[in-house]
Amino acid sequence: MSGRGRMGGRGFGRGGGGRGGGRGPSGECVCPQCGYRVPHAPGTPCRSIMCPRCGIPLIRA
């Protein structure tokens, strides 16, 4: 079986078989320190929104 690769030729090597980096439009942004939550706005990264309580960037929940 030459030329099939370690994973059996199923597209797992060199980035194949993976999914996109985006998580889609749904979900929430959350403060990792205090738990403050806000709905995620499409096109706006959570890390660009600051927590009004703590002043640190939010992360995707």
Whether residue 53 lies inside any domain: the answer is yes
Whether residue 2 lies inside any domain: the answer is no
Whether residue 14 lies inside any domain: the answer is no
pLDDT of residue 29: 98
pLDDT in tens, 2-57: 556 565 666 656 655 555 456 666 799 999 999 999 999 999 999 999 999 999 99
Whether residue 57 lies inside any domain: the answer is yes
pLDDT of residue 17: 53
Domain of 53?
Answer: 25-61
Domain count for the chain, please give it. Answer: 1
pLDDT of residue 26: 77
pTM of the model: 0.59
Whether residue 16 lies inside any domain: the answer is no
Whether residue 7 lies inside any domain: the answer is no
Whether residue 9 lies inside any domain: the answer is no
pLDDT of residue 23: 61
Whether residue 40 lies inside any domain: the answer is yes
Residues in Cβ contact with 58 at an 8 Å cutoff, skipping those fewer than 6 apart: 29, 30, 31, 32, 36, 38, 46, 47, 49, 50, 51
